Amino acid sequence: MERWIEVPGAGALREGGRGTFVVDGYPLVLARVGGALHAVEDRCSHDDGPLGEGGLEGCELVCPRHGARFDVRDGRALRMPAVAAILSVPVKEEGGRVLVDAGAL
Ligand code: FES
């Protein structure tokens, strides 16, 4: 079931920017790529690395531990050593507010 929760401060992210936010107790990385905001879990599927502390290169979020990459748009694993996707969470912007679907968490 959808459950949209506002993420204060996320609307300030500019193109190529990313930040970590705790939503409903879950740490997420939000990033703006191609003009749109995307949200994924802040936990690498390889060994729980903090993805929000890594870099963002285009649409690729880079794990700071061992270099795995994930597509921030859908959570797909793009580079070893990660093979499993990370959770991708729906995001929408309404009147300057950023909302994520906590029902997907
Ligand atoms: S914990 Fe992310 S690549 Fe190993």
Note the pLDDT of residue 86: 98
Q: What confidence score (pLDDT) does residue 105 get? A: 92
Closest CA to 105 of 58, 39, 14: 39
Give tens-digit pLDDT for 15-54. 999 999 999 999 999 999 999 999 999 999 999 999 999 9
C-alpha of residue 13 to centroid of ligand 1, in Å: 25
Sequential DSSP letters for 55-100 = -EETTEEE-TTT--EEETTT--EEETT--SPPPEE-EEEETTEEEE
Ligand 1 atom nearest to CA at 48: 1
Domain 4-104 has CATH 2.102.10.10: yes
pLDDT at position 82: 98
pTM recorded for the entire structure? 0.96
Which pLDDT band holds residue 68 (cuts at 50, 70, 90)?
very high
Helix, strand, or coil here: 24? coil
Taking the centre of ligand 1 as the mean of its atom positions, its distance from the CA of residue 72, in whole angstroms, is 15
Percent of the chain whose predicted confidence (pLDDT) is above 90: 99
